[in-house]
Amino acid sequence: MSIKERLERIWSTLPEGVNLVAVSKFHPAEHIMEAYEAGQRIFGESRPQELAAKAAELPKDIEWSMIGHLQTNKVKLIAPFVSMIASVDSDRLVAEIEKQAAKCERTIDILLEVHVADEETKSGWDIEELRSFIATGALDTMPHIRVRGVMTIATNTDDESIIRRDFQRIRDIFEELKPHFGKAFDTLSIGMSDDYPIALEYGSTMVRIGTAIFGARVY
């Protein structure tokens, strides 16, 4: 199946209002262009240098989403153009995004990445730490950041009950935090190639799909 056919198949399964981030990390620009020509506009990358290089050579109406772990010293590489940083997992990173977005005179959408999976290695806020950080009010005084919602990666397992538990946890966290941030807080980013149909059951508004569109990544 071509990239276009795979995309069309996925689009047809997404309810109205659910955004698709086509995760193009490790895939060449030609493949991104195939998806672009089919009509896809939102692309996700996990490494800031790769993201900046691709953004420089590809069409300017692509909305780039940073989905991988981001070091504070790399924020400036992507701040001038990135549409969303979906992997915000520390107060230092929040502060740096505010600083760099202000320099570029932009407002950057962010998602708070929360750790709900079993693996210790997974990134994201511990929910208690995130609650404490939100309670400081720091996020409410950053005019160049718009907090759009939460993101997580479910446990990597064949046990569907664990994946469902993770999605229920993040869904509960999304509902818990929503009143603090108000109307702009509308994004629950869950679901990847293997688990997005389940994520949709838990109210995902943004799925992040790589392999099912572009095939296996060659690292």
Ligand X SMILES: *Cc1c(COP(=O)(O)O)cnc(C)c1O
What are 47's two structure tokens? Answer: 């490494």
Give me the least distance between CB of 195 and ligand X, in Å please: 8
Give me the least distance between CB of 21 and ligand X, in Å please: 8
Site string for ligand X, 159-198 (x = CB under 6 A): ---------------------------------xxx----
Q: What is the DSSP string of 36-95?
A: HHHT--EEEES-HHHHHHHHHHS-TT-EEEE-S---GGGHHHHTTT-SEEEEE--HHHHH
Give me the least distance between CB of 10 and ligand X, in Å please: 10
**Sites for ligand X among residues 36-95 (CB under 6 A):** 46, 67-68
- Please list, in sequence order, all residues whose beta carbon lies within 8 angstroms of the beta carbon of residue 179, skipping any fewer than 6 positions away: none
Judged by CB under 6 A, does residue 107 bind ligand X? no
What are 155's two structure tokens? Answer: 């446990």
Nearest Cα residue to 166 out of 176, 178, 177, 153: 153
Whole-number Å distance between alpha carbons of 193 and 62: 21
Give me the least distance between CB of 117 and ligand X, in Å please: 12
Which lies closer to ligand X via its Cβ, residue 142 or residue 191? 191
Whole-number Å distance between alpha carbons of 208 and 190: 7
Which of 18, 85, 94, 153 touches ligand X by CB under 6 A?
Answer: 153
Judged by CB under 6 A, does residue 210 bind ligand X? yes
Give me the least distance between CB of 103 and ligand X, in Å please: 26
Handedness of CA 137, 143, 69, 114 (dihedral sign): positive
* 81-87-92 Cα angle (round to 5): 90
Judged by CB under 6 A, does residue 208 bind ligand X? yes
Judged by CB under 6 A, does residue 132 bind ligand X? no
Judged by CB under 6 A, does residue 157 bind ligand X? no
Site string for ligand X, 6-35 (x = CB under 6 A): -----------------x-x----------
> Applying CB under 6 A, which residues contact ligand X?
23, 25, 46, 67-68, 153, 192-194, 208-212
